[in-house]
Structure 1
Amino acid sequence: MKVQALQGDTVDLLCWRHYGRTQGIVEQVLQVNPNLVEGGIQLAAGQWVELPDIAPAAQQEMIQLWD
């Protein structure tokens, strides 16, 4: 999937916005888009970024002490 960066976006912000997490994902995005590191920390407004298909994180079951 391709997403377009907004002004001031970073790779980790795009990952957080799309996947809801960044751990282990930023590295995968940078592998798919090796040219992203050339432009600095912030992406250019309108820059297209390829996001790999990643399985959703496993949900931890919440235990309620009182119902």
Structure 2
Amino acid sequence: MSNTYITRQGETVDLACLAHYGRTEKVVEAVLDANPGLASMGAVLPIGTKIDMPIVSSTTTQPRLVSLWD
């Protein structure tokens, strides 16, 4: 199951992902895979473009702490 997102003026795929998911990491690729031909529309998508937003797992990305004295 997925949700449909409708683009606004001046929106790109990564901005649409940021608006829908709250992040772009590891979701832009999933959105492009779920929407064949979306990348060929250009960097700025036409207003009103319908994008299927697939359900992606919510992963927590925290930077790994490195200690120099271990």
> How would you bin the TM-score normalised by the shorter chain?
0.7 to 0.9
Aligned residue pairs total 60
Partner of 1:21: 23
- TM-score after normalising by structure 1: 0.80
**What letter corresponds to residue 24 of structure 2 in structure 1?**
T
* Structure 2: unaligned runs, 5 residues or longer: 63-70
The ranges of structure 1 where at least 4 consecutive aligned residues each deviate by more than 6 angstroms after the TM superposition are none
Task: Render the CA deviation track for 1:6-57: whole Å, top value 9, x for unaligned.
Answer: 0100000011011111011000000001211111101100110000011223
More strand per residue: 2
**What letter corresponds to residue 40 of structure 1 in structure 2?**
G
- CA RMSD in angstroms comes to 1.4
Partner of 1:63: none
Identity of aligned residues (%): 40
Classify 1:59/1:43 alpha carbon distance in 2 versus 1 (closer, same or farther; 3 Å): same
Confirm whether residue 58 of structure 1 aligns to residue 60 of structure 2. Answer: yes
Q: Secondary structure at the match of 1:51?
A: strand
More helix per residue: 1
